[in-house]
Structure 1
């Protein structure tokens, strides 16, 4: 009954578009008939011509029968022979849900799962079904949580949502195309009017006259008005159709709870938010860190490393799971807030099923390492696949850090270059310090308004932290250029740089020695001797000690 009401609502929304279009055409025709009683000749011809031009996008929208062809997202399609255990779970849950199992399963690189059906006759007849499963989901979910995810997707099948989507999408596409046509016509009219006015202005200039200012504000106004009309209906259409979509999500959650259990479904939703956040972090700070240096993670590690990060940061993830994400609610959201979905699920009666039953979901794959390697080939750009592969994650980090230190330019280097007009090298900076001109350079740093307005000692206190940070980076870049730095890779914390011994005292902490030298260099009366001494010491071949300090860039 509920699916029937949803289908009726989707049909009414689509019919509303046709009704609006017919009313627009009738209004144009009626206006022409009324005005032609009083307008004749060329003016009448222009009036009818304008009405025809305005009617064309409307008519084309009415008779747009071809829908955009759906395409598979980047991924690896797996057959029953490839992944028998995964397919057994997919079919088992479909039977429990009382629905037809997907015809295809596609593994993708996204933290997402979805189902799609290609129905015929606007959803009246069933069609092929496809299930997409994000490998990052398999990496982070338990088998019980994966059952909940699949149960949710099957809830869309049992609710008829995938068939209704044909009606809803058709309306969105048709309205969008009509609006696009009117905007294109308005743009063309503005371009035409601008060209006409610019040509007239050129003629006036050639005659020694002052040209008129180009004004295209009124050009294309009629087309924009028509676009506005359809945009308003489009907003109504979206709000109504997406409110239906949100109700479908709640219904699908209840199906998931029935199939996989309340706790597994609620915990899967909590985990989805965590995995989405951490996967974005992983891509930015680990998987793609070597791109600037023209290097990629070892073969098969681009997606596999995500599992290593999750295992190393379990304590952090537990804290993230305990807090539900806060999201701004919009009438144009296709999904309800996760927090509200979790609250509704946890309000259901306990059913005795746990969220961690069955072990990790990735273990359902026959050979996870092989599948993750195949996913790299399918999901990554060819330009990325063509890059050399690092021997391991530490080598990737060292290449990225060396490139970052050699190619980056600190604010202090920028200020030094502006001040001296010469290449902003570390040696040049030390010379400026020795000459007592450091604080003139500091005045060119990008500081806060309060710091820039300060004078004397107050200014030096404001500027000193920024000076110290930039100077540290310049020193590290110098050591890196001499191949003296080593980087400590970690899945659980930011990368740390390992400094060589910087004094003859084998027991001295290199980090403390560097900090002391930096402090002396940016003192009220700069003293570069300690910094020059440690740089000279680092250049000798007997530097074997090491210590960790935070690097300027770290995952």
Structure 2
């Protein structure tokens, strides 16, 4: 404990010294620049160099100005009630007690594949309670002992004083970043000094943050064993890219459409092999291929495994689950849906999601517009695809747009895909929706991918005559009646 307190004092002194150093350099520069015109005016008339120095001093002072941020009214945090998950609360409180943590513990279920701990303080700065956030995928992929190592790791940050140092590091980082941004490409080259200092600070603060992670890992391994701690790290690293893509492209999209879908069942469907949509593939690859730098605040998985189990390399342990701590899969999902919003959403299975939600909203979206399938048939697709870039002015979103030419084309393409779906729905096709996979519409033995249809049209491989065969005829099967459209006005607060 004495060694831990000594390390905490050292880190705190270092961060404060870096913070003071930043302001000492800045104020000294301002004083030096102001001294030049002051001296010139005092002894003789102000010349060009003095005027330039005065402008530079004003520029630097403006860049260093305090950023008073308006306090936003935070959305009410809905915590997991104790009667909803008594076993999970008991687990956290036992771990806290073993670390001599006496503060009250509150739990919040979060959507990310991660965990966090946040202290709630009174006006004197004393800690009233600790809010612990636990990600849904942790409950569905980790064993109880592995989840315990994650919780112990987060409590380790609290015991080590890392939560007190965090604001110092954040504020210094923000001050340097704001100053460099305001001085960027200035004629006085003042940004170069602060950019160099900023890189030096980021390098040092990153090394401190990495040492904090190693210390928290060591505490978790000491409490629950290196095997469980290692397995938890490997599993989180394994599932995070897939879960993040699922959250962004499936679960989040369903919530925005006003649909309450089975969360864990959807993730299992999402992870099954198959041809995924292009944007889903890119999202997964982007998460998996993140390049590590010297400024990263977390060590690599390999480094963390080496520290816990010297001589070992990361593996792929079998997944488990500890949903019994929150009353099972259905109870956990219900608790999470209740935790972030009191808005009414409609419960729907993934089997019915495509027809009852996506198809319905696509049809409503184009109804009455110039792209209504009643007015603009699918046989017009080759013409639309041939002038896709010129459609921007007709289909652009409201307000100012900063999209690049490629971004504009992607935006128009997504609208055309939805319009193709609406046309095919009008012709009696039904959407076969599988989370993460490419959209497929079926009518009898005919299967169509709207995205592939658009790509072929852009490449001039489709004719209007070919597309006319899909249009609804007298003997074509009628579309299955669907439920009334679901509201799509959902907020995004739960994904922040």
| TM-score using structure 2 length | 0.65
Change (3 A) 1:176 1:117: farther
Q: Between the two structures, name the one with larger relative contact order (CA 8 Å, sep ≥ 6).
A: 2
Q: Which has the larger radius of gyration?
A: 1
Q: Tell me the distance in 1 between the aligned counterparts of 2:139 and 2:72.
A: 25
Residues 378-420 of structure 1: per-residue CA shift (max 9 Å, x gap): 536x9xx46x626433332114146558979xxxxx9xxxxxx
How far residue 89 of structure 1 moved from its aligned partner, in angstroms, is 0.9
Q: Tell me the distance in 2 between the aligned counterparts of 1:129 and 1:511.
A: 53
Q: Tell me the distance in 2 between the aligned counterparts of 1:48 and 1:476.
A: 63
CA contact (8 A) 1:138 1:146 kept: yes
Residues 347-384 of structure 1: per-residue CA shift (max 9 Å, x gap): 3799xxxx889x7333212476456445435536x9xx
Q: Tell me the distance in 1 between the aligned counterparts of 2:124 and 2:300.
A: 30
Partner of 2:106: 104
Residues 462-501 of structure 1: per-residue CA shift (max 9 Å, x gap): xxxxxxxxxx99998655214x33344556966654422x
Partner of 1:276: 240
What is the DSSP-based 3-state SS (H/G/I as helix, E as strand, rest coil) of the residue aligned with 1:77? Answer: coil
Partner of 1:19: 24
CA contact (8 A) 1:149 1:256 kept: yes
CA contact (8 A) 1:21 1:58 kept: no
How far residue 28 of structure 1 moved from its aligned partner, in angstroms, is 2.6
Residues 5-58 of structure 1: per-residue CA shift (max 9 Å, x gap): 322321221221232134224413442454335542798996896477357448
What is the DSSP-based 3-state SS (H/G/I as helix, E as strand, rest coil) of the residue aligned with 2:208? Answer: helix
How far residue 91 of structure 1 moved from its aligned partner, in angstroms, is 1.6
CA contact (8 A) 2:432 2:441 kept: yes
Change (3 A) 1:156 1:69: farther
Q: Tell me the distance in 2 between the aligned counterparts of 1:237 and 1:169.
A: 11
Match of 2:217 among 253, 262, 272: 253
Task: Say whether 1:134 aligns with 2:135.
Answer: yes
Task: Say whether 1:342 aligns with 2:302.
Answer: no
What is the DSSP-based 3-state SS (H/G/I as helix, E as strand, rest coil) of the residue aligned with 1:332? Answer: coil
What is the DSSP-based 3-state SS (H/G/I as helix, E as strand, rest coil) of the residue aligned with 1:331? Answer: coil
Q: Tell me the distance in 1 between the aligned counterparts of 2:18 and 2:339.
A: 38
What is the DSSP-based 3-state SS (H/G/I as helix, E as strand, rest coil) of the residue aligned with 1:272? Answer: helix
What is the DSSP-based 3-state SS (H/G/I as helix, E as strand, rest coil) of the residue aligned with 2:346? Answer: coil
Change (3 A) 1:50 1:295: closer
Partner of 1:397: 354
How far residue 85 of structure 1 moved from its aligned partner, in angstroms, is 1.7
Partner of 2:148: 147
Q: Tell me the distance in 2 between the aligned counterparts of 1:234 and 1:285.
A: 35
What is the DSSP-based 3-state SS (H/G/I as helix, E as strand, rest coil) of the residue aligned with 2:290? Answer: coil
Partner of 2:171: 170
Between stretches 532-541 and 96-105, larger displacement belongs to 532-541
Give unpaired runs (5+ residues) of structure 1.
187-216, 318-323, 409-413, 415-422, 430-437, 447-471, 501-508, 513-521, 545-555
Q: Tell me the distance in 2 between the aligned counterparts of 1:34 and 1:3.
A: 46
Q: How many pairs were matched up?
A: 421
User: RMSD between aligned alpha carbons?
Assistant: 5.3
How far residue 308 of structure 1 moved from its aligned partner, in angstroms, is 1.0
Residues 433-464 of structure 1: per-residue CA shift (max 9 Å, x gap): xxxxx9xx799599xxxxxxxxxxxxxxxxxx
How far residue 286 of structure 1 moved from its aligned partner, in angstroms, is 3.3
Partner of 1:296: 258
